Amino acid sequence: MKNILFATFLFLFCISSKGQTAKEQLSIVNSVKLVSKNFYDEIPFSDKLGYYTIQVKIDTGSYEYIFETGGYNTVTSKIMENANLPSLMEVEVGSSNKIKSKIKLSKIPLLQIGKAQFKNVGVFNFDFSASPVINCYTNGGLIGKSVIGEAVWQIDYKKSVIRVSDNLAKMPNLDNSEKIKIELDKTLNPFLKLTINGKEEKFMLDFGFGGLISLTEKTASSIKSANKLTIEGEGNVGANGVLNEKTYVNLLETLTIGKSELKNKVAYSSKSNNYNLLGSELTKYFIVTLNFKDKELILTPFADTENSFETFGFNINLDSSKIYVSKLFKELNAQKEGLLLFDEIIAVNGKQLNNLAALCDRYFYVNNILRTEKEILLKIKRGSEDKEFLIERQKPF
């Protein structure tokens, strides 16, 4: 099972620490201009547990970036230094888990993704030191909504490519598609309306969420759902750290996106969620074309879209030295077998994790097993004791 609530990294824009207005801040962070003309390209992407990474060129370096419709562009301090980028302003920002920090704003003179070149790209300087797991996904950061809004993008999950052009007419896969209206707020967040269990709600299109649907506490309490799970432990993982809180999983009878209806999908919710989110799992059901300049989301359905929710009943995270149990589903198999929050995972199916030198390799190794196997033998360390648990994956609904 993937790390579902890996939340939007940068989506609250707070007050400046040096007295600049929000308008001045936004003029920097949303700055970007597409300079390439009459082009089309196909860019391979990697699916890292629901987060799609692409190669981005900055100055003389090439970096792995997360493609993120609901976040701001970022660079690490290393990229700032290598590309000699200036510090233009210091601001206070928060991530979707409501933890705040002060960081610098800068601009990249020229940024390239495939054949698409962008100039004067506003960025946040973020190293993700408070959430080391994010560095397993990216050594660059986020390509966010301002860059995405300058071109037309098409995510084709089955072919593992993201297509980009300056012209919608150059895009394939638009036959039998549906155009859905989106709205952009002043910070360029894209919103659309969906219907869940017969109730229309406003959602943010946010590929910084690796699942399909995430709900605010208010929306989750308003929908009719007889099936609900509780997850204890860590909640949203954001750029500024991890928030410990309960997360809930609701089974949705119907999810209607435009004229398409998906049945028996799950929605996550927690108290800290600021918006209802439609996440990157959308690309498992549709070829997704983003045409933000014309305020359109274009969906081309795949013929085969059936899958059901299964879980071992726990999730994992990492710190500076170990992989550990970060979330535990109440009354599901992992908890029933005796697994506890913050148990250190030292072996899976007889393979010692310390044989993998890098923590990130261990993290992805365990997560891939959780996605593919039906039964796992888990060896953990709890204090001075080692314990083993044989856990089966289950369909809780």
Domain ranges of the chain: 12-170, 178-301, 314-392
Mean pLDDT, rounded, for 262-283: 95
pLDDT band at 128; cut points 50, 70, 90: confident
pLDDT digits (tens, 9 = 90+) for 187-230: 999 999 999 999 999 999 999 999 999 999 999 999 877 789 99
Record the tokens describing residue 41, joined without a space. Answer: 């390209």
Name the burial class of residue 320, with classes exposed (0-12), middle (13-18) and buried (19+) by CB atoms within 10 angstroms of its CB: exposed
Mean pLDDT, rounded, for 276-291: 97
Helix ranges (H only) for 273-381 are 333-337, 359-372
Confidence (pLDDT) at 240: 65
β-strand pairing of 152-156 with 286-291: antiparallel
Query: Which residues are CB-contacts of 306 (< 8 A; sequence separation ≥ 6)?
Result: none
* Identity of residue 178: E
Q: Which fold has domain 314-392?
A: Pdz3 Domain (2.30.42)
Confidence (pLDDT) at 14: 43
pLDDT band at 95; cut points 50, 70, 90: low
Confidence (pLDDT) at 2: 42
pLDDT digits (tens, 9 = 90+) for 134-156: 999 999 999 999 999 999 999 99
- Would you tell me which CATH number, out of the four given (2.40.70.10, 3.20.20.60, 3.40.50.300, 3.40.50.720), belongs to the domain 12-170? 2.40.70.10
Query: What's the rounded Cα separation, in Å, for the pair 56 and 66?
Result: 10
Query: What's the rounded Cα separation, in Å, for the pair 199 and 297?
Result: 21
Mean pLDDT, rounded, for 106-119: 98
Domains 178-301 and 314-392 in one fold? no
The yes-or-no verdict on residue 7 having pLDDT over 50 is: no
The yes-or-no verdict on residue 92 having pLDDT over 60 is: yes
Record the tokens describing residue 185, joined without a space. Answer: 């707020």
Confidence (pLDDT) at 12: 44
* CB hemisphere CA count around 30 (13 angstroms): 16
User: Measuring CA to CA, which residue among 369, 372, 309, 311 is closest to residue 345?
Assistant: 369
What is 178-301's CATH number?
2.40.70.10
Q: What integer best gives the mean pLDDT of the chain?
A: 91
Confidence (pLDDT) at 132: 86
Give the DSSP H or E segment for 92.
Answer: strand 89-94
Mean pLDDT, rounded, for 367-384: 96
pLDDT band at 242; cut points 50, 70, 90: confident
**The model's pTM:** 0.92
Confidence (pLDDT) at 11: 44
DSSP secondary structure code for residue 182 in this structure: -
The yes-or-no verdict on residue 239 having pLDDT over 70 is: no
pLDDT band at 236; cut points 50, 70, 90: confident
